[in-house]
Amino acid sequence: MKQDIGASGGSGKGRRPGKKPTPKSALKASNRARTAPAKPKAKSTDGEGGLGAFDELHVDLRTSEERWRSLLENPLFGVTFVGQHLRYEGSNRTFQNMVGFSAEELRQISPLDISVSGERELNAVYFKELQSGERNHYEMIKQLRRKDGSLIWTHLYVFAVTDRKSGEKLPFGIVFDITDKKQAQDALEEMRAELVRVARVNEMGAMAGSIAHEIAQPLSSIVTAANAALRWLERPNPEIEETKALLRGIVHDGQRAADIIKGIRAVFRADPEQRSAVKVNELVRDVLALSQTELRKSLIEVRTELAETLPVLSADPVQLQQVIFNLVKNAIDAMDPVVGRDRILRIKSEHGGSQWLVVSIEDSGVGIAPENMDRMFKSLFTTKPNGMGMGLAICQSIVESHGGSLTASPAHPHGAVFRLSLPTGGADGA
């Protein structure tokens, strides 16, 4: 029997000539490869081999952190975080240097602890409104007391930030130190005030010189005529007719001097033609607005009690406003030496009877010495080093020309109170 022989010289059934037999190990590996599940290929989120979503998030967080750190480490303004109990929970180095407290020391105190009287109470109101949601932010120019006791001026911006844990509104503050700017402004205001004072003194001097000149002429004529009349009457044969002529001249010159004085007094007297309907409460508010800078500078807290239904006055609004302004200015000056207690200005308007209206202006200053009480409204009397002693005298003259009265009395426990009483004439108004 013949056998088939392959090209390789081997023998076997069904083999194709020219192909080597596959080993068993190779067949098993091939079978495993065909039956194993395919592994998924990694895909790029940007489709071009860029950063993945996690990497991009990490970069964004790092960028935000760097920006936040640059905000905190800035040397231009302070940054503060105030907690639920109104204590500093965080602050940057700029604010710490500004007030002289360390970060740990600030965590033990509240912004109200280093605020001054008057501003402290207003700041507390703003904090409550932030926490209650009545306001979202506020701006304030205020003073802060440093650790060494000195005061600095600051411009404060505060925003309400929601706490994630408690859900409460907490104050986040940005603080600028404007002490140098404020001192420069104060120096400029003092210079302007001094120029105004010098101008007023010069005007008073010029007016006094003019008055003296006008009155000196008739008085000189009176003295000359009187001496001549005495000589003529002392003669052996008195010159009766000549003396009568001299006496008539004296009467004329005396009347001329009286007219000059009358004209001067008319300057401080309300002209009925200049009177109009006046609402006292509006005058008070206008004066407080005009005095706002000086009140803030002197750290004075203003408390007003203005009756809502007051009669309308028939008065000269400019002159009455000047009276109230002068009394407020005197109250500010009286509180300037006060140390260790609150400086409070109280202004109250009320009905003083069926046909009277009363405005009282009370301060917590040094008060009025008993020996000076009866001389307060006399001309040329003053307790101020640079005063002229004309302010209260002029105020009283203006009030009396309106048919009213101006009085002063001690306030309790400190200071003085001035009461301005004006007749309403039975007129009614809001």
Query: What is the per-residue pLDDT across 359-410, written as a single tens digit (0 to 9) for each?
Result: 999 999 988 877 776 767 765 445 555 544 457 888 888 888 888 999 989 8
pLDDT(13) > 70: no
44 pLDDT exceeds 70? Answer: no
Beta-carbon contacts of residue 327 (< 8 Å; ≥ 6 apart): 361, 395, 418, 420
Q: In CATH, what number does 274-423 get?
A: 3.30.565.10
Closest C-alpha to 311, from 341, 353, 272? 353
8 A C-beta contact, residue 89 and residue 82: yes
E strand intervals along 178-320:
276-278, 301-306, 313-315
* Rounded-to-integer distance, Cα 92 and Cα 36, Å: 61
Q: What is the pLDDT of residues 392-406, one digit of tens each?
A: 888 888 888 888 999
Give the domain 75-177 fold: Beta-Lactamase (3.30.450)
pTM comes to: 0.46
Q: State the amino acid at position 396 in one-letter form.
A: Q
Which of 332, 416, 350 shows the shortest CA–CA distance to 377?
Answer: 416
Mean pLDDT of 131-135: 87
Pairing mode of beta strands 151-162, 169-177: antiparallel
Q: How many CB atoms lie within 10 A of CB 166?
A: 10
